[in-house]
Every structure is written in structure tokens, then in C-alpha cells.
Amino acid sequence: MSRLESFMAQVGDLRVHYLRGGDGPPVFLLHGWPQTSHCWHRVAGPLAETHTVIAPDLRGYGRTDKPRGGYDKRTMAADVAGLAEQLGFDRVAVVGHDRGGRVGHRWALDRPDQVERLAVLDIAPTREMWRLLDKDIAKAYWHWLFHLQPDLPELVAGSNIAAYLGYFFERWTFQRQGLAAEDIAEYVRAFSAPGALRAGFDDYRASFPDDADLDDTDFADGKRVTQPLLAMWGQGGLLGKLPTLDLWRQYGTDVTGVGLENCGHFVPEEQPELVLQHLLNFLGH
């Protein structure tokens, strides 16, 4: 199995930490909240047997800088696009989980010549989640609304970071053994760094008005993902109860999808073998 190494890059004003390994067609792996590039540790090595794997810490996360602004998805997508250019890649495949999937979605829309294909893991289009908001979605995604609030999430989570993050790691998983104690400890360490909690919540706060206005404008203008798009989700979570594939087909012209049985939200860690199998089939190598 290929081993990924740790690097730093200067992308504009942002110092970006990323993991890299393997050789072959380039694939960018984008993590979500409350995680870092570490979330790919069970997938990245095997994938690097056939691909060049790049797994960055997104703006505000992990060992990447945590500036006060720039958490709209267009800017976060520009960060990783700049990293790809700096590493000499003209076209890349993009795989995004959770918030990383939203960054990947924006990357594919804004730079279709750079993104060859896109896989989104355990998310529905952001615009659809707000549009379909009802009591069931509000109950499952209460944190979206809470994280939008100024200052309060930092106050609550900062009093016990391990307990706050642990709530999600327990409630959102089906295969709870997939998130080992040492993995959770790594995420707690990352979000205990100065500015890390605030940056993660700012990722959510960028939902209004920046992300929402851009999503609405693109949808109204008929802008869709034209690259091949794979949606993958855990059947044990909320997306297993939603018409997730049909939702994505409104936002892309070449969309396939699969729900993973006995899986919750953290699909790369709960079902890494299945995720790897579907990714390799999708990537075509």
C-alpha cells in the first residue's frame, strides 16, 4: 500500500497543508466537518496504488491557515484549484465528503475545464437541503442553523471540544468502530488549535448570503455540472430516506449514484472498501 507524505504549499495568501502519494491520474480528496484530510486514511493509500492522491486540509481546517474570511465555497474551491495548478495538474478528478463535497461541487461549476469528474459523498445539493427543510431535516441537520449563529457555537463547543465533536461521531455513524479512538483524538486535536472552531463554523456561516445567492443564480441560469458525477451516501443516515440521486440529477447532466448499506455519514471510514471499489469504477482506472 502506498504511503502518503505531508507537505505545505503557499497558495496566494494561504498556507495549505496537504497529503500526497502514489503515481497516475490525479485525484483530489476533500474532507468535511468536523474532520481534516485524515478522514481519508483508510481510502487514500489503496487509491494511491493507481492514482496520484492529493488530500488537502481545506481553508480553516487541520494544518492549513485559518484566516478570518474566505469561507464561501467559491473561494474555498479557488484555494484547491490553485493548489492543483501549483502542483502542475491541468485536469483532476475530485472526491468530496460532506463540506468538501460542497467545495467540490462549486469547483466543478466554476472550473469545468479543470475538474474532469466529481464524486460527492453523503451530501445532497446545498440549495435542495434548504428548499426541502422540514421537521425531519431540521431535526437531523439542526447544527446547520446553530452553526450559523455568531459566537455562540464557539462558546458551547469550546467548553468541551471532545464532547461536542463526539456527539456527531456517535450520532452520525452506523459502523461506529470505523472511527477509532485514535482517529477521534486526531480530530479533537485539530479543532483544539487556535482559530479552528471559529473557522469551521465560518464555513457554515458562509451559507448566507454568499453561497445561497450564488447557488440560486446558477440554478436559475441553468448552470449544471456537465462532468460525470457520482453521488454516494450512507443508507443509515438521512440521505437514505431522501431521493438523493434524483436531487443530484437536477444539478448535473451525467449523474449516477449508490447508497451504501449499513453505513452512516462518515462513509470513507465506515465503509472504506466499498467506497474504494465504487471510486475505482467511477475513475475508470
Which grid coordinates are listed for 46?
Answer: 489503496
Q: Check if the beta carbon of residue 254 is closer than 8 Å to that of residue 267.
A: no
Q: Which of 17, 51, 265, 278 is catalytic?
A: 265
CA atoms within 13 A of residue 135's CA, in its CB half-sphere: 0
Give DSSP secondary structure letters for 83-128: HHHHTT-SSEEEEEETHHHHHHHHHHHH-TTTEEEEEEES---HHH
Distance CA 115, CA 148 (A): 30
Residue 148, classified by CB atoms within 10 Å of its CB into exposed (0-12), middle (13-18) or buried (19+), is middle
Q: Which of 57, 98, 211, 215 is catalytic?
A: 98
**Helices within the chain (DSSP H only):** 44-47, 73-86, 99-110, 126-131, 135-140, 142-147, 152-158, 161-171, 181-191, 196-205, 212-220, 244-249, 267-270, 272-283
The answer to whether 134 is a known catalytic residue is: no
The answer to whether 98 is a known catalytic residue is: yes
Distance CA 197, CA 190 (A): 9
Catalytic residues: 98, 265
